[in-house]
């Protein structure tokens, strides 16, 4: 994400190294795409029967 990129740069870190650590922790073995995030948001917006739902779009990397 842009905020993660900026934090890494501001702390003098190696973006690619941190990115690879995130990927290694993902159950799906990759980072999500903006399209995948948008599809989850769109689902919440369009589904009138969902109320108070919490949808984790995290590729299995729940904290």
Q: How far is CA 22 from CA 7, 49, 50, 52, in A?
A: 14, 34, 30, 29
Q: Is the pLDDT of residue 61 over 90?
A: no
Phi first, then psi: what are they for 53, rounded to 5°?
-85, 145
Closest CA to 31 of 21, 46, 39: 21
- Give per-residue pLDDT as tens, 41-59: 899 889 888 877 788 888 8
- Give per-residue pLDDT as tens, 28-38: 888 888 899 89
- Give per-residue pLDDT as tens, 1-16: 666 677 777 887 788 8
CA distance 17 to 21: 6
The dihedral formed by the CA atoms of 20, 23, 24 and 27, expressed in degrees to the nearest 10: 180
State the pLDDT at residue 35: 92
């Amino acid at each position: 994400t842009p905020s993660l990129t900026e934090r890494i740069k501001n702390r003098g870190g190696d973006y690619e190294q941190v990115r690879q650590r995130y990927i290694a922790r993902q159950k799906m073995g990759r980072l999500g795409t903006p399209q995948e995030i948008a599809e989850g948001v769109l689902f919440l917006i369009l589904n009138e029967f969902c109320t108070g739902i919490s949808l984790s779009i995290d590729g299995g990397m729940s904290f």
